[in-house]
Amino acid sequence: MTTAGERPAPPIRVVVADDQALVRAGLAGIVAAADGFTVVGEAADGAQAVRLARTEHPDVVLMDIRMPGTDGLAATRRITAESGVRILVLTTFDLDEYIYGALRAGASGFLLKSTPPEELLTAIRVVAAGEALLAPSVTRRLIRAFAAASTGPAEPSADRDGERQRVLQAVTGRELEVLTLIGRGLTNTEIAERLCVSTGTVKTHVGHLLAKLAARDRVHLVITAYRAALVA
């Protein structure tokens, strides 16, 4: 909502990448019909998504993973390496190397393709605002699986101890509490309620954690919490 004399916020610019024409059209239609959004391109594969990211400068790319030619994983890696464009991965909940790879490549969110339209639009807003988002039904299982795949049973425990020490030396006691709760999948609002502070205070702590731990976004804070054994 804007007051007299204020300019309305520019629409969130979105590229939709999916190799299935009907799915792509449906997603584009949902986004284009909503106030505050505009679809600046549609891509049938990862290569097209990369080109559109370069030419259209979207705020968010809705990225399917399994596409012919250049898949969503490779496209995510290239786009995040070249620009600040945010990637919101649409998945059918296949916990495989593609999802883990997308995390490493810098994806900012994961959402199920069965997500209701209003939740999809909310997710785009969250990611466009610079935050990370994981579908609630995916968060704990996805990150736990990623953490297990990243460390592996054969990896020396000293590596995890080293990560824990790095975190403990970098953050304050309160920031450690916030990081632990992030690792458990809590939202900023839930963390604020748990710690009896304002959501603004939580956002400040999250910002400090991102800077101190050199994390790209909230997704990678969750990964850090698991690697540092702050959560099981």
Beta bridge partners, 110, equal 89, 134
- Cβ neighbours of residue 157 under 8 Å, at least 6 residues apart? none
The verdict on pTM exceeding 0.85 is no
pLDDT score, position 62: 97
Residue from 84, 82, 96, 128 nearest 109 by CA: 128
Q: How far is CA 97 from CA 50, 101, 150, 165, in A?
A: 21, 6, 11, 28
3-state secondary structure of 134: strand
Render pLDDT for 61-84 as a digit per residue (tens, 0 to 9).
999 988 999 999 899 999 999 998
**1-26, pLDDT tens digit by residue?**
555 566 778 999 999 999 999 999 99
Neighbours of 15 (CB within 10 A): 28
Q: Which of 49, 33, 196, 189 is nearest to 126 (CA)?
A: 189
113 closest CA partner among 18, 3, 215: 18
φ/ψ of 135, rounded to 5, equals: -55, 130
Cα separations (Å) of 186 from 26, 121, 131? 31, 20, 14
Largest CA distance in the chain: 62
Tens-place pLDDT, residues 22-42: 999 999 999 999 999 999 999
Residue-wise pLDDT tens digits, 208-221: 999 999 887 777 78
Indicate the average pLDDT of the chain: 85
pLDDT on residue 120: 93
Beta bridge partners of residue 42, listed in sequence order: 16
* Confidence tier at 154 by pLDDT (50, 70, 90): very low
Residue 95 has pLDDT above 80, yes or no: no
Q: What is the pLDDT of residue 194?
A: 95
